[in-house]
Structure 1
Amino acid sequence: MEDIVLVTVDSVRRDYADAFESLSDLSVQTGVTGSHYTRPSLASLISANYRGAITTEVVSPTIAEVLSDAGYTCLGYSPTPNTDSRFGFDRGFDDFDTFVEPGNRGSKLRQYLGSINALRWIYYKIYPPQAKSENRPRDYEVIERAIKEFNDAEGPRFLWVHLMETHRPYGVGEEGMSKQLDQKAFFKPDKLTDEEKTEIETKYADAIRRADENIDHLLSEIDSDPVLAVTADHGEGFGEEGFYFHQGHKRSIADFQTKVPVILDGVGVEGPMSLLDIPPTLVGKIGVDVPASWHGRNLLEDNSEYAVTIAPWHDTATVAFRDYEKTFVARDADVSFKQGDITADVERANVDQELEEQLQDLGYMDAG
């Protein structure tokens, strides 16, 4: 069976797909994300299940579990606490690494204090995202690890890599935004000058180009010509709705937040799709049965008819239903999911204190 490589790149909007220069020979489709920030979006993608977006945790069977059962060696490398094993992201993988070390269980009080805007401002003044970005491995290092483990693994192989340097501040050191510009865009976006707005978007595009170089390096160094899918977990805001970046507590389901590029190689499908369609399409391509519990479609057999985006935060969510012509939105609603005997509600996940701190360093001040 053919090897499969899935690359997800953090925070890439559909209208910035041209920055993937090494993949320019491949057609770019429009994908609709399952959620509005990393954890619920990737949980729903890896699970091909909307319940992953509602609960912000992975639901079995994952694409790795399905491929593992089919005889694949499954490898996953994602340098973000949003994909910690405590959220189920390691299910089905023979080797999985987030490159972070969560510690002991934290308190609800700290989560509550983190939800207060004034304290959010103080936190970022003391510990901006520029500081935490230097504590993660560079995307190049993650790619090097992926290349080595992939080439050493017994085939057939499934590799998932998530790249993080396209997340604000869009690079390490001088590559990314300065602390001052980042905080101005986050807290006072209406005060940004035209020059500052241009600088932010230039830094962003440059970060995507560096991600493209890393993807090109990965594909040139692995000993395979795999079935390939490249996409993003969500987009990014540049003032369209009065805010910059992606801020989970705003529950945005706008196009800039939820429409991302999808680039496929070895899979001849076209048209708009939900990201939940990617796992069944990849699994279907190699002749493995698609689990009945998956919500995505095998696009080799059926067109995608609709996409649902669920934007949870605390105990409510905004939900968008798209049939690719019209969009229906329910804002800040109580959302429940029912499938057979399984039910799930939007609620805050309980996470360890050090893991919570790692999430806060990424900007999810009340992401627990």
Structure 2
Amino acid sequence: MTDSILLITVDCLRADHVGGYGYARDTTPNIDALIQRGTRFQHAYSNGPGTRFGFKSIHGGTYPLRISGAGLPRHASKTIAEVLREQGYQTGGFSDNPFVSSYFNYNRGFDYFIDYENWIGDSSDMKLKDINRFIRQQVGPTIPKGRIYDILKAGYDSILKYIESTGANANSNDEAVVDQALNWIAEANDSDKPYFAWVHLMDAHHPYGYFPEHRHALNIPTDREHIRMPSVDPGNPPSEILVDAYDTNIRNADAHVGRLLREVEGDPTVVLTADHGEELGLHNRFHKESVYQSMAHIPLVVDAPQFDASESDATVSLIDVPTTIARLADANVPESWDGTDVRDRTNENTVFLGFENSEGISTAVIHCPWKYMCQQDLLTTSPETELLFDFISDPVESQNEIETAEGVYQKLQDKYQNYINEIKGNRLEAERDLWDPSKDLSKTVQESDNDVPSETPEGIDQRLEDLGYK
């Protein structure tokens, strides 16, 4: 049995905004230090570039399209936490994102699991984010747009900036998440059994907090505007204001990574990755899930005794993460998992991306340096839109090469069809239906499953609204 294992996931972290992946700004000094100690995978991808989809791969070891509906099925297949618990590990999970909560069955296999509900109504005092929410939802809509509204909004934003200048973040509980994780790990270390801890950090996710120390470190002019809830015009490069806010919040998430790694007891194996990147507006509206590089290309770092301090050009994806962790723990890998140990991957491997939302099905096949992308209504229908990019020579994916690289197009289109055919014949049914912002979560329960409570947990829709999903 190997050492204890710490899995860190950072929401919305694009690989090309990480210093250790070549970004010019010093956004990630702590992650960069981890990269220096471990193996960095240059070509790592989210199989479902969006939180609702990417964690199906991270925890369930499967392609997101293989699971019909939202979240993990309650009983089908095994999660990485279940595999490690059977192997004798203590298991703890810590997350403040409602999409990876017990409501969507992400508590499967965890002895100790803390999600967003832990920070709802745990104090009789009105907390900062409660005040923020009250003003935004109850006061703001009652004031007509105009000069008075603009003056009050400017004052409100100034108050939030002042409060957040002290280190608080009105919409994040990452500091508390790390506190909970460190406390649990300290107790777990008193046992003679190793542990598996998963810690998910949200500070790179909007609404963006105001952190003057990080803005200073990134040489952002003091008079430059701060943006909390971005809105972009798709098709244009992101503004400096948006990039500044995103980078600043990445650096704050990185600070939580640094504290976690400094204060964790023992010397656990560390795996760090992201569920997806961030769409800053070049292809779609802000934070819109897609299979473009902006959302799909993520960091993946493994710091373990079995891994050298090196860079790997293997093409890997999130489905490989649980398989790799299971192998490090000398555990049996479930046959139902789709991934491979990253040590067995090469740059000749093909990666499949795909997810289903209310708009249809988006898929991609990556065989470096090529990416074939398509959009279709259902798994049973033909692609309506097809694109082919050489994302190495064309990193912004602007030149469709289908007509100029017909051989590559046909090869990847065939791989796509084989992938879709295999997925169609072997899908798992989640108890919760597809979700979109217009739906009340209480309506997402599959009618055929009477064993699943349909009542929405207190605060889940509210938390999703805080994060800009509703």
Out of 86, 89, 92, the residue aligned to residue 69 of structure 1 is 86
Taking structure 2 as the reference length, what is the TM-score of the superposition?
0.63
Deviation (angstroms), 1:54: 4.7
1:100 match: secondary structure: helix
Out of 29, 40, 57, the position equivalent to 2:71 is: 57
Separation in 2, partners of 1:90, 1:262: 23
**Which residues in structure 2 correspond to 1:1-368 (within 5 Å)?**
1=1, 2-18=3-19, 19-22=27-30, 23-25=34-36, 26-29=38-41, 30-51=43-64, 54-59=68-73, 60-100=77-117, 134=170, 136-137=172-173, 139-153=174-188, 154=191, 155-171=193-209, 181-182=227-228, 185-186=230-231, 197-241=239-283, 243-244=285-286, 246-247=287-288, 251-266=289-304, 267-268=306-307, 270=312, 271-303=314-346, 305-314=349-358, 316-335=360-379, 337-338=423-424, 340=426, 342=428, 347-348=434-435, 349-350=444-445, 352=456, 354-365=459-470
Q: Partners of 1:328 and 1:189 in 2: how far apart?
A: 21
Shift of 1:334: 0.8
Structure-2 change in CA distance of 1:223 and 1:320 (3 Å): same
Stretches of structure 1 that go unaligned for 5 or more consecutive residues are 104-121
Q: Percent identity?
A: 26
Structure 2: which 5+ runs fail to align?
20-26, 121-136, 143-152, 161-168, 216-223, 381-422, 436-443, 446-453
Structure whose alpha-carbon radius of gyration is higher: 2
The answer to whether the Cα contact below 8 Å between 1:53 and 1:312 also exists between their aligned partners in 2 is: no
Worse-superposed segment, 346-355 or 200-209: 346-355
CA distance in 2, matches of 1:126, 1:36: 33
CA contact (8 A) 1:75 1:159 kept: yes
Instruction: State the alpha-carbon separation in 2 of the partners of residues 150 and 31 from structure 1.
Output: 28
Deviant stretches of 4+, over 6 Å: 173-176, 189-192, 343-346
**Aligned partners of 1:126, 1:179: CA distance in 2, in Å?**
24
The question of whether the paired residues in 1 share the 8 Å contact of 2:226 and 2:245 is answered with: no
- Structure showing greater relative contact order (alpha-carbon pairs closer than 8 Å, 6 or more residues apart): 1
Aligned residues: CA RMSD: 3.5
1:116-141, CA deviations, whole angstroms, 9 ceiling, x for partnerless residues?
xxxxxx99x7599x99x62542x122
SS at structure 1 position matched to 2:197: strand
Q: CA deviation at 1:359?
A: 2.0
Q: 1:38, 1:321 → 2: CA distance?
A: 20
Do the aligned residues in 2 keep the contact of 1:53 with 1:311 (CA within 8 Å)? no
Contact 1:6 1:228 in 2 (8 A): yes
Aligned residue identity for 2:251: R
| Paired residue secondary structure (2:117) | coil
Contact persistence 1:309–1:319 (CA under 8 A): yes
Mark the CA change 1:258 to 1:126 in structure 2 (over 3 Å): closer, same or farther.
farther
Aligned to 2:410: none
Cα distance in 2, alignment partners of residues 40 and 203 from structure 1:
25
Aligned positions, number: 336
Find the counterpart in structure 1 of residue 127 from structure 2.
Answer: none
